[in-house]
A = this chain, B = another copy of it.
């Protein structure tokens, strides 16, 4: 099983279009220690069938261009991308679907709640329903994703709810402190290679690591985990927004309640942070926070990173 990190940054990317912070300025200036990153998305293949895309970011067109494995390999029009799963309805996880038009067969998997958002937004009709079947993904029910024409990809996927929050633009202020979020709003995936049996977890959004979830990750060969912020209050502290990470549905990396502490001792063979916000100092190769995360056994994903399991 091969995993390609197409995008490693959180919503907005790095640099973010309207952010003038020192880190974004370094990224724009071409500083090699502040490598630009596009918005989070990965692609997976079992090596035989085509590729399964996990989340379709707004940067998808450029991500496909940047990764030769995803270029058309035959015929006049074709794509090695057979299917897409959107883990939630965040703009950075669904709007890339708009770049997968041009009469190309493709299967789109999402929970019923996300499918309702797609159905309720006419812009997604650019994906011709005759060519792009939309399939519901049921939580806690492993399934084998297939291409539009029914070919298996050699992978088994299980989606399960993790602590989180509904997409910003779907928030319902009147619904109380969780803004109308339901379990389906933040979904992690377990992806298993059918032939070898090896597997990994992909959890680009996760607000906390309760005991049952820690147990689930325990001993896994690989976890790609929510790396949005270093501290819970880093956005308000930088003046880059009023919201804490918790308010946005994300656990921070550092601190006694953070993900680095929560994963310590879980025996996960390979721990990688993904969905990293432009305010998070681990993006900088020369930061103390990068050294601290790496010392704790974490890798900081970057665009174009390949992982073979």
**Residues in chain A within 8 A of chain B (CB atoms):** 11-13, 15-21, 24, 28, 36, 58-62, 64-65, 68, 71-79, 91, 94-95, 98-104, 117, 120-126, 168-170, 238-241
Contact A120 B122 (CB under 8 A): yes
Q: A15-B65, A58-B58 are in contact. Are A91 and B123 (CB under 8 A)?
A: yes
**How far apart are A118's CB and chain B's nearest CB, in angstroms?**
9
Report yes or no: A20 in contact with B122, Cβ–Cβ below 8 A: no
Look across to chain B and name the residue whose beta carbon is closest to the beta carbon of A94.
Answer: B123
Among candidates B11, B18, B121, B239, residue contacting A121 with C-beta atoms closer than 8 Å: B121
**Contact call A168/B62, Cβ cutoff below 8 A:** no
The answer to whether A20 and B78 touch across the interface, beta carbons within 8 angstroms, is yes
**Which of B20, B58, B74, B126 is in CB contact (< 8 Å) with A72?**
B20
Q: Which residues of B contact A94 (CB under 8 A)?
A: 123
Q: Which residue in B28, B98, B104 is a CB contact (below 8 Å) of A18?
A: B104
User: Apart from A20-B72, A20-B78, what are 4 other A-B pairs with CB-CB below 8 Å?
Assistant: A18-B104, A62-B62, A95-B123, A117-B122
CA distance A126 to B122 in the complex (A): 16
Min Cβ gap A266→B in Å is 34
Task: Say how far A75's CB is from chain B's closest CB, in angstroms.
Answer: 6
Q: Contact check, B102 vs A18: say whether CB atoms are below 8 A apart.
A: yes
Which has the most chain B C-beta neighbours within 10 Å: A77, A94, A125? Answer: A77
Candidates B16, B102, B238; contact of A19 at CB < 8 Å: B102
Residues of the B chain whose Cβ atoms lie less than 8 Å from the Cβ of A99: 17, 58
A247 to chain B: closest CB distance in Å? Answer: 14
Given A19-B72, A58-B98, A168-B126, check contact A65 B121 (CB 8 Å).
Answer: no
If A18-B77, A20-B76, A102-B17 touch, whether A169 touches B95 (CB-CB below 8 Å) is no
Nearest CB on B from A257, distance (A): 26
Q: Which residues of B contact A21 (CB under 8 A)?
A: 76
Provide the residues of chain B in CB contact with A98, threshold 8 Å: 58, 91, 95
Identity of the chain B residue whose Cβ is nearest the Cβ of A118 in the assembled complex? B123
Asked if A71 meets B28 with Cβ closer than 8 Å, knowing A17-B61, A17-B99, A169-B126, the reply is yes
- State the CA gap A91–B97 with chains docked (Å): 11
Asked if B125 and A169 sit within 8 Å, CB to CB, the answer is yes
